[in-house]
Every structure is written in structure tokens, then in C-alpha cells.
Amino acid sequence: MPKTIINNIKKGTIKPIYFLMGDEPYFIDLVTDYIENNLLTEADKGFNQTVLYGRETTIDYIISSAKRYPMMAEHQVVIVKEAQALSRNIEKLETYAANPQPSTVLVIAYKGKRIDKRKKLYKTLNKTAVILDTKKLYENQIGTLVKEMLQEKGFKSSPKAIALIVEFLGTDLSKIHNEIGKLAVLLPKGTAISAEHIEKHIGISKDYNVFELRKALGNKDILKANRIITYFANNPKANPLVLITGQLISFFTQLIRYHSLTDKSKMSVANALKVSPYFVGEYQTAARNYPLKKLARIISYLRQADAASKGINVTQISEGDILKELIFKILH
């Protein structure tokens, strides 16, 4: 994991090559940025730190740069960002990986791709380098990381605030990190992050958002659902119908999956549906209100509304009217 790599560097265990690959750019950036910002002093960076970009360089130039000796410093650092652009020729790095320059720290940020583990480069790197193979986290895994990010900024947090951040920002860790960074600029350390802070500084209304709509529908709370969709209809730019229908399709599809589960304990449901345990109660309540036959019809209504929002098979009609008709069908 990235934290293990960073902690080892802090302890002085520094490897000549860091090959960072896979699906989660946030973890790749975390290690890359730490090395870029912390391995050399500001005075040493001018002569001993080189940042290259995959689209603007070659494997031969990277190797040539890595073979240089540092100037009046223990190490030189060579960072190759967006290295996935070099995927066609990446195997040429194997000759350097077999005998890397001990005084160079070479960082390869290979986002969105992986090298073939059956080929020689991977086998060689496995002996001489640190390999980080990142994977996208599921939604139910994000909450722990959000809590850690908030703690690192000196904030206190509640399960509700964490769940709201995850539900609003999804699994985009870079975006979550940036938004928490904004909170750190605006709020003092020790602040207990609340729904009000999230509404004010991240931009989601604690009362009128798609997650509250989802909850109201799950509870069959007609009055609250209508209040929310009226708010949406009056603020269409901030609440585009295509995003609302997408979220609701996801919710009601998960309810169908919920009905198929044999183990309906809290953690089992959270793991099966890939959601925060905080929201499991909503699914349990909604499942009691919506049998499978009704859910099948609701999915059909949602797909029709989604098509209508894109102008398919409809005459001119506002998104607000499409939404109001959709919610009426779901609740009745």
C-alpha cells in the first residue's frame, strides 16, 4: 500500500526504482508527490531532480537520465509522469531495471495500465524495485479512507458526514482529497465536520439532494419526495435529470440485489451491495416497501425518464415535469 511505501522512505529504506501502476491514480499520485516533494531538499532539487512526461520522452532518454550521477547530493530523482504513454516500448526498461543506478531514484507513474506479469520486465522489477499495483476501491471501502484524510487534516468526523461525502463524491479519491483540502483551508483544526459544513463548502444541500430523495422514496415519504423534486425543478442546472435518474437506477437495482441475498445482516449487505454500512438501514426499509415486481416496473419507469431527459421519444417537456411524473409512478 502507498502508506507502507512512504513510511519506508521516511525510515530511510529507499529503492532505486518505484514502478507505480494500475487503476487508482490517487494512490500513484500519493507516492509520486511524496517523493517529488520530500526526498531532496529544495537546494538539491535544482540539479538533481528531473520530471519527465511519457508523451514527451523516450525509454532511452529515461535510462540516460537515470544513469547520471547526482551533483553534491546522495541521490538524484527522475520522475516519469503519464508513463502509460510509453506502453508500447516499456519492456525496453528491463535492461536498466536489471542493473539500476544505486544513487538514482527512478519513479515510473504508469496510470490506468499494468505491465504484463509474465514478461521479463515485471520479473526483473520484482527483484530490484518497489512495485505498486493499485486497484479502484469499492464505495464501501472509501469511508475508512475519507476518515483518515479528515484525521490527517486535524478534523473530527461523524459516520453521517463521512457517508455523505462518499455518496456525493463517489469513488473519485483525487476529488475527495481535493475537497477535503478545501475544508482544511476554510476550517480550523479540531472542527467536527457536519452536514452543514459539507453543504456550505462542498456544495451539496443537506436537505435537497438526490440522496435525500432516494431516502424519501425508500421510506415512501410522499411529502418529502415532492418537496425535493420541486426544489430540483426550480434549480435544473444544479440538479440535471440525467444524474438523478442514474443515481435512482443504481439504488433500485441494488434493492433488487438486496431481495436476492440470503444473509441480510448489516455487514453482509454492505459488502454485497458495495455501500457504507451507514446506509444499510435505508435499503432494509426500502426493500420492505418495494417488492420485486414493483422494482421491475420502477426500473422501466427510470429508463423511460432517462431516455426522455435526452429527448428520445418525447415532445417538448421540461425536466421538472419528467421528474414529477417519474416520482408519482414510483410512489404509487
130, 153: one domain:
no
12, 41: one domain:
yes
196, 217: one domain:
no
Query: Counting runs of H as helices and runs of E as strands, what totals does the chain give?
Result: 17, 7
126, 152: one domain:
no
290, 318: one domain:
yes
Instruction: Tell which of 157, 172, 201 closes a domain.
Output: 201
The confidence score (pLDDT) of residue 29 equals 94
Beta bridge partners of 49: 77
178, 114: one domain:
no
The confidence score (pLDDT) of residue 207 equals 67
The confidence score (pLDDT) of residue 103 equals 95
161, 233: one domain:
no
Domain count, the chain: 3
CB atoms under 10 Å from CB of 151, counted, come to 11
> How far is the C-alpha of 48 from the C-alpha of 238, rounded, in Å?
47
322, 230: one domain:
yes
127, 145: one domain:
no
CATH number of 169's domain: 1.10.8
The confidence score (pLDDT) of residue 203 equals 66
> How far is the C-alpha of 184 from the C-alpha of 199, rounded, in Å?
15
Instruction: Tell which of 182, 201, 220 closes a domain.
Output: 201
Task: Give buried/exposed letters for 283-304 (b at 16+ CB in 10 A, else e).
Answer: beebbeebeeeebeebbebbeb
143, 117: one domain:
no
Per-residue pLDDT 10s for the chain (332 aa) are 888 999 999 999 999 999 999 999 999 999 999 999 999 999 899 899 999 999 999 999 999 999 999 998 899 999 999 999 999 999 999 999 999 999 999 999 999 999 999 999 999 999 999 999 999 887 778 888 898 899 988 998 888 788 778 877 777 888 889 888 888 888 888 898 887 788 777 766 666 778 888 889 999 999 989 888 888 888 777 778 888 888 899 899 999 999 999 998 888 888 888 887 878 888 999 999 999 999 999 999 988 888 877 777 656 678 888 888 889 999 98
Instruction: Tell which of 109, 134, 159 closes a domain.
Output: 134
State the residue range of the domain holding 89. Answer: 2-134
126, 166: one domain:
no
56, 174: one domain:
no
CATH number of 48's domain: 3.40.50.300
